[in-house]
Amino acid sequence: MEQQSPPASSSTTVTSTTPLLPQNHPWWRRHFHMNNSLSSELSGAVGDLGTFIPIVLTLTLVSHLDLSTTLIFTALYNITTGLLFHIPMPVQPMKSIAAVAVSETPHLTTSQIATAGASTAAVLFFLGATGLMSTLYRLLPLPVVRGIQLSQGLSFAFSAIKYIRYNQDFVASKATTPRAWLGLDGLVVALSSLLFLVIFTGSGDHYDRNGSDDDQPRRRNSKRLRILGSIPAALIVFLLGLVLCFIRDPSIFGDIKFGPSKIGFLSITWNDWKVGFLKGAVPQIPLSVLNSVIAVCKLSGDLFPNRELSAAKVSVSVGVMNLVGCWFGAMPVCHGAGGLAGQYRFGARSGWSVVYLGIGKLIIGLVFGNSFVRILNQFPIGILGVLLLFAGIELAMASRDMNSKEESFVMLVCAAVSLTGSSAALGFVCGILLFLLLKLRKIEYSGSTPGFSKFKFESTVDAETSSIP
């Protein structure tokens, strides 16, 4: 009997290392457990606000977006998707629609923005419900997906540097004067926030908690890094920004009005549908397919190997959110790979992170309503730039797994075209064509007609058989 105990112990050890909870646990513990500290989840919750706040603020000031309605609906989206997907699934503005809305002359109205979002959502819902999105996800070459991720990440990083270095006029969608060194929104505040985040979060590595007893220096170093990582650095930086809002403009206290705005259906005309679809949805649809679904699903598999998202479910999720909220004037939203990267970068490891974010948005929307725009208008843009910089770099680093020169070539060309052409769709098309051309070079052709020699096209040379030293 004593000799049979080791196998039982071994079996127990194997079971304990399984990342998922045993099936005999209640369903709510298996699906809603939080395998991370509360401080890390709260810190990760603010990881994508570097993109959320500038776009929401711009649409509120330029297109008269109802901030209270947007906060309430995006809060419900956050809570629902966090509980359904079990990862820090972001809810971000549809960036192309927002850019068109403020750059067109005249600016798009709230109804036209809503129809653009609803039209995009209908396409994504159809692709997801019919399974076409899953087919597209399986067929897309990985280097092309990585190129889209790299371009989006670098685009975020470039915008972040502009936020840090220059004052921003969100209404005119342009940078203005160089940012002063001193002041409550100066370079010193932004750079101090940057250094603070680097010290407490490092490069975003996830350190192993099971240090070896034979390597005491490494264990002490790992323990020190875990202590630093347990501090919600991003949340502290964001709260600092909120405090600075009231210091920069104390009159905010007198302008705050409590209570949400009245939620009602928008009045939408046929012309609104035409303008919204042609000017807003057409450029947004390819971006949503590539970045909001394909890139998000691939990134989820990279960050959470046991929880890779279904492209069909993510596509349907984007469709349902906007087909509900846009009718009430809520901002069109999607799931962005940059938001997921940013939230993961600052500590989010479960769906509870975005649930907490949703609860915070819901409280703000119900308590402060549209008057919260006065606070956002004074938020230090340099701090937003710092948060956006980390999110962009984290997303761009997802492309580091390209192991061959051919894969890197396709990825870099796709990213370069996406950045210079300001179009992920154009970069995607170029990447697909380049990928197919490179594969075509590898096809072997043998002439069946007498007198013709055999032709062989290859893209690489085997180093072992090559005679070149």
Q: What is the pLDDT of residues 308-328, one digit of tens each?
A: 999 999 999 999 999 999 999
Q: Residue 423 CB: number of other CB atoms within 10 A? A: 17
Is the pLDDT confidence value at 250 over 50?
yes
Is the pLDDT confidence value at 6 over 80?
no
DSSP string, 164-177: HHEEEETTTTEEEE
Residue 92 lies in a domain: yes
Tokens of 295: 């890139």
- Per-residue pLDDT, 447: 52
State which H helix or E strand residue 129 sits in. helix 110-129
* Number of folded domains that form the chain: 1
Residue 152 lies in a domain: yes
- Write the CB contacts of 136 (distance below 8 Å, at least 6 apart in sequence): 127, 289, 294, 311
> Which of 153, 80, 90 has its CA nearest to residue 389?
153
- Write the CB contacts of 203 (distance below 8 Å, at least 6 apart in sequence): none
What is the pLDDT averaged over residues 413-429? 87
Cross-strand pairs, 456: 444
CA angle 265, 267, 268 (to 5 degrees): 115
Q: In this structure, are residues 73 and 266 in contact, taking their beta carbons and an 8 Å threshold?
A: no
Tokens of 272: 């609104």
> What is the per-residue pLDDT across 397-406, written as a single tens digit (0 to 9) for each?
999 889 899 9
Percent of the chain with pLDDT over 70: 82
Residue 427 lies in a domain: yes
- Per-residue pLDDT, 170: 87
Measure the CA–CA gap between 228 and 199, rounded to whole angstroms. 8
- Per-residue pLDDT, 105: 82
Percent of the chain with pLDDT over 90: 69
Length of the chain, please? 469
> What is the per-residue pLDDT across 141-171, written as a single tens digit (0 to 9) for each?
999 999 999 999 999 999 999 999 999 988 8
What is the pLDDT averaged over residues 229-255? 92
- Per-residue pLDDT, 85: 95
What is the pLDDT averaged over residues 31-47? 80
Q: Residue 211 CB: number of other CB atoms within 10 A? A: 17
Question: CA 333 → CA 71, 77, 329, 420, distances in Å?
Answer: 11, 9, 12, 25
Is the pLDDT confidence value at 19 over 70?
no
> What is the per-residue pLDDT across 354-394, written as a single tens digit (0 to 9) for each?
999 999 999 999 999 999 999 999 999 999 999 999 999 99
Q: Name the DSSP class of 212.
A: -
Confidence grade of residue 35 (pLDDT, cut at 50, 70, 90)? low
Peptide bond into 93 cis (omega under 30): no
Is the pLDDT confidence value at 215 over 80?
no
Q: Which domain holds residue 309?
A: 34-203+229-443
What is the pLDDT averaged over residues 404-419? 94
Residue 74 lies in a domain: yes
> Which of 349, 429, 335, 435 has its CA nearest to residue 80?
335
Residue 250 lies in a domain: yes
Is the pLDDT confidence value at 31 over 70?
no
Of the two residues 321 and 453, the one the predictor is more confident about is: 321
Residue 222 lies in a domain: no
> Which of 454, 16, 42, 439 has its CA nearest to residue 234?
42
Residue 186 lies in a domain: yes
Q: Residue 231 CB: number of other CB atoms within 10 A? A: 17
Helices (H), 131-231: 132-139, 142-165, 187-201, 216-229
Segment of 46-55, 167-176, 443-452 carrying the highest mean pLDDT:
46-55
Q: Residue 217 CB: number of other CB atoms within 10 A? A: 8
Q: Which range has the worst mean pLDDT, 174-183, 216-225, 231-240, 352-361? A: 216-225
> Which of 96, 138, 148 has its CA nearest to residue 311?
138
Is the pLDDT confidence value at 43 over 90?
yes
Confidence grade of residue 346 (pLDDT, cut at 50, 70, 90)? very high
**How does the average pLDDT of the chain come out, rounded?**
85
Question: CA 210 → CA 39, 41, 216, 220, distances in Å?
Answer: 21, 21, 12, 12
Confidence grade of residue 203 (pLDDT, cut at 50, 70, 90)? confident
What is the pLDDT averaged over residues 56-80? 95
Measure the CA–CA gap between 371 and 389, rounded to whole angstroms. 28
Confidence grade of residue 216 (pLDDT, cut at 50, 70, 90)? low
- Per-residue pLDDT, 422: 63
- Per-residue pLDDT, 214: 47
- Per-residue pLDDT, 444: 63
Residue 38 lies in a domain: yes
Tokens of 466: 């090559």
Q: What number of helices (H) and strands (E) belong to the chain?
A: 23, 6
CA angle 426, 54, 357 (to 5 degrees): 105
Q: In this structure, are residues 50 and 393 in contact, taking their beta carbons and an 8 Å threshold?
A: no
Cross-strand pairs, 93: 333
Q: Residue 191 CB: number of other CB atoms within 10 A? A: 14
Cross-strand pairs, 455: 445
